[in-house]
Chain A
Amino acid sequence: MNKTKSPPPMHPISAMDFLPPQRLREVQFMRLKAMVQRAYDRVPLFRQRMDERKLTPADLKTLDDIVKLPFTTKTDLRDTYPFGLFASPLSEVARFHASSGTTGKPIVVAYTKEDLDDWTRAMMRSFAACGVRNGDIVQNAYGYGLFTGGLGAHYGAEGIGASVIPISGGNTDRQIMIMKDFGVTVICCTPSYFLHIIDRATELQVDLKELPLRIGVFGAEPWTENMRQRIEAESGIKAYDIYGLSEIVGPGVAMECEHQAGPHIFEDMFYPEIIDPQTLEVLPDGAEGELVLTTLCKRAMPMIRYRTRDITSLDPEPCECGRTIRRIRRIGRRSDDMLIIRGVNLYPSQIEAAILRVEGTLPHYQIIVDRQKDLDVLEVQVEVTSEVFSDTVGAIEQLQQRLSRSIEGVTGLRAAVRLVAPKTLQRSEGKAKRVIDKRKL
């Protein structure tokens, strides 16, 4: 099947991607002032931090003054769980989403009706940027539910005029059947899941290159140029990188255009800075550091200088597409210990909390992440202690099951729990090595 096509006419939703830089800065500053005022008036933690710095919203004289504002971290979200950072009363909250926190409790985010519309617009701009348009059939294999991926992509694809199949994740054979039978043209999922779909399709003797499928919108986990090349060579589609995080909005913070030269940040909505994670100083464009994002339009939950922990750089070079909004380099690593397993965020401390809940005390444990047949597999090895050791097989298997269930309860991830003999797990310089990530990214 011929997959070449004439470039589509620009969708009107993309207009903001092409603002003259000066005008873009004006829009950003205007929105920033209003949002800081809103947070200052309505979020006690933010006001307290402004007071400590003897700052008021009036001290924001130019866009560059943003560096005076305090950072927000994931810890702040945890400490104010569940609703402490909301700037809207619950009566105005239209939807909640949640993602993994660093311990047993999730991070809760909220949206007003207007926030949901803004998010949909950001996702429409994302789809438009990579050429998705009216007439496309979008198979949305991101998980629907508390995870932002499913509903975020869903409304964006509907908004752009595509026909959406809300298939959610899993059941690969059915994914492939529907992809084939419905004439799907766009797939949304994690890149590793799509690699799995490719392998399964080969086993089922379905040639993806023969299908109308032409675009993949891949995100929710770090991936590499090698993975892109493999996906494109083996499936005949174009693979695009989408970036986002629930704390800011969900997917649709940044998205690659058809030139596939790094995701463009929708800067009029999400203001990016790059900082040195140690000194917290702002770094110039081009320098590698931690991405810090400020929401410029969020009502229910404004995020000011949120430390994403994602390591990247801002590329100010004009893109061939003509967009004036800057690009970020593909995210390859993080400045904290968060792992992304099958698109789900995982902190080692969550595993710790889950084990502690079962055993009462904390034994040595190790998290082993691997990628088998392009799917992430999670194994947790736990050293057996005399407190939990029982001399029947049934009791030990029950312990394994309880650990497994607890981990799934806390993290949402299924893990193989393996009990190992005491003092067998690797310790370096007396300190336990908690994570072994064997995935080659």
Chain B
Amino acid sequence: MKLNQISVFLENRPGALSAPCRILAEAGINIQTFALADTREFGILRLMVRDWQKAKEVLEKNGYVVKVTEVLALAVPDRPGGLAEVLEVIERANVNVEYTYAFTGKHKGQGLLVFRFSDPDAAVKALMAGKVNVLSAEEMANEVWK
């Protein structure tokens, strides 16, 4: 259920974001979705790609500090209250959301969100029990990253 996301440390200055994107492009890696956490001085670029090992490898070869983090991709009903219901399941399990961001496309009519939880395993358990659609790596590969 858990997916691997890669995070890259960037300095907050012009060109800092385009350089790693260019490196990925040259390696033929498509960015499925991404989010940028930024402060005045630095940023963390979080990326979802199909071949995360290869992405990690080319970025590290180019001198980037890369961290692999386990995240979950959740299908969330695309209607008022859809997200709130999912979050309530997580809340009850006493798991913290560290950050979340959205996929650009939809999955079977539902919104698709990436979540980083303080305890991914506990989150999976709670979400499954709460009947939330957590996408597996296979589903991602076959249905999202086509």
Contacts of B67 in A (CB 8 A): 386, 389-391
Quick one: given A385-B65, A386-B66, are A392 and B9 in contact (CB under 8 Å)? no
- List, in ascending order, chain B residues with CB within 8 A of A391's CB: 5, 7, 44, 46, 67, 69, 116
Interface size on A, residues (CB 8 A): 17
Q: Which residues of A contact B10 (CB under 8 A)?
A: 421
The reply to whether B64 and A422 contact each other, CB–CB distance below 8 Å, is: yes
What 1/0 mask marks residues of chain A from 375 to 409 whose CB sits below 8 Å from any chain B CB? 00000000011100111110011000000000000
Instruction: Work out how many contacts link A and B, with CB atoms closer than 8 A.
Output: 48
Do A389 and B65 touch across chains, with their CB atoms under 8 A apart?
Answer: yes
Binary CB contact string for chain A from 26 to 39 against chain B (1 if under 8 A, 0 otherwise): 00000000000000
Report chain B residues within 8 Å CB of A384: 9, 65
Contact-size category for B: 20 to 34
> Does the CB pair B11–A420 fall under 8 Å?
yes
A397 touches B64 (CB 8 A): no
**CB of A60, distance to nearest CB on chain B (Å):** 59
Q: Cβ of B41: which chain A residues have Cβ within 8 Å of it?
A: 418-419
Roughly how many angstroms separate A86 CA and B46 CA in the complex, as a whole number?
58
Binary contact track B6-21/A, C-beta < 8 Å → 1, others 0 = 0101110000100000
Contacts of A419 in B (CB 8 A): 9, 41-42
Q: Is the CB of A393 within 8 A of B37?
A: yes
A396 to B16, CA, bound (A): 18
User: From residue B70, how far is it (CB to closest CB) to chain A in Å?
Assistant: 10
Give chain B residues whose Cβ lies under 8 Å from the Cβ of A424: 11
Give CA–CA (A423, B65) in the complex, Å: 10
- The secondary structure that dominates the A interface is loop
**A386 is contacted by which of B37, B44, B65, B99 (Cβ under 8 Å)?**
B65
Contact B65 A422 (CB under 8 A): yes
Complex Cα distance A389/B67, Å? 7
Q: Does B142 contact A (CB under 8 A)?
A: no
Tell me if B63 counts as interface (CB < 8 A to partner A).
yes
B contact face: mostly helix, strand, loop, or mixed? strand
What residues of B have a CB within 8 angstroms of the CB of A421 in the complex?
Answer: 9-11, 16, 63-65
Report chain A residues within 8 Å CB of B9.
384, 389, 396, 419, 421-422
Contact with A along B34-65 (1 / 0, CB 8 A): 00010101101010000000000000000111
B98 at the binding interface (Cβ < 8 Å):
yes
Cβ contacts under 8 Å, A386 to chain B: 65-67
Known A-B contacts A389-B9, A421-B11; the reply to A397 vs B65 at CB < 8 A is no
A393 and B64 contact, CB distance less than 8 A: no
Tell me the complex Cα distance, A421–B63, Å.
8
Q: Is there an interface contact between B63 and A423, defined as CB atoms closer than 8 Å?
A: yes
Provide the residues of chain A in CB contact with B16, threshold 8 Å: 421
Q: Could you say which residues of chain A place their CB within 8 Å of the CB of B46? A: 391
Residues of A close to B7: CB separation below 8 A: 389, 391
Task: Report how far A420 CA is from B99 CA in the complex, Å.
Answer: 23
* Cα distance A421–B42 in the bound complex, in angstroms: 9
Within 8 A of B (CB), among A252-270: none
Q: For residue A390, which residue of chain B has the nearest CB?
A: B67
A64 nearest CB across to chain B (Å)? 58
8 A Cβ contacts from B80-97 to A: none
Nearest opposing residue in chain B for A391, CB measure: B7
Digitize B64-76: 1 where CB-to-A-CB distance is under 8 Å, 0 elsewhere: 1111010000000
Residue of B nearest to A397 (CB): B39
Alpha-carbon separation in the docked complex, A396 to B66 (Å): 14
Whether the pair B39, A422 counts as a contact (CB closer than 8 A) is: no
| A419 and B66 alpha carbons, distance in the complex (Å) | 15
Kindly list chain A residues whose C-beta atoms are within 8 Å of the C-beta of B116.
391-392
B residues in contact with A392, CB < 8 Å: 37, 44, 98-99, 116
The distance from the CB of B73 to the nearest CB of chain A, in whole angstroms, is 16
Q: Which residues of A contact B39 (CB under 8 A)?
A: 393, 397
Quick one: closest A residue to B37, CB to CB? A393
A422 to B62, CA, bound (A): 10
How far does the Cβ of A394 sit from chain B's closest Cβ, in whole Å? 8
What is the interface of chain A, defined by CB distance below 8 A to chain B?
384-386, 389-393, 396-397, 418-424
Give residues in B with beta carbon < 8 Å to A.
5, 7, 9-11, 16, 37, 39, 41-42, 44, 46, 63-67, 69, 98-99, 116
Q: List 8 A-B contacts (CB under 8 A).
A: A391-B46, A392-B37, A396-B9, A396-B42, A418-B41, A421-B10, A422-B63, A422-B65
The 4 closest A-B pairs by CB, nearest first: A391-B7, A389-B65, A423-B63, A384-B9
A391-B7, A391-B46 are known contacts; what are 18 more A-B pairs with Cβ within 8 Å?
Answer: A385-B65, A386-B66, A390-B67, A391-B5, A391-B44, A392-B44, A392-B98, A392-B99, A393-B37, A393-B39, A396-B9, A396-B42, A397-B39, A421-B63, A421-B64, A422-B9, A422-B64, A424-B11
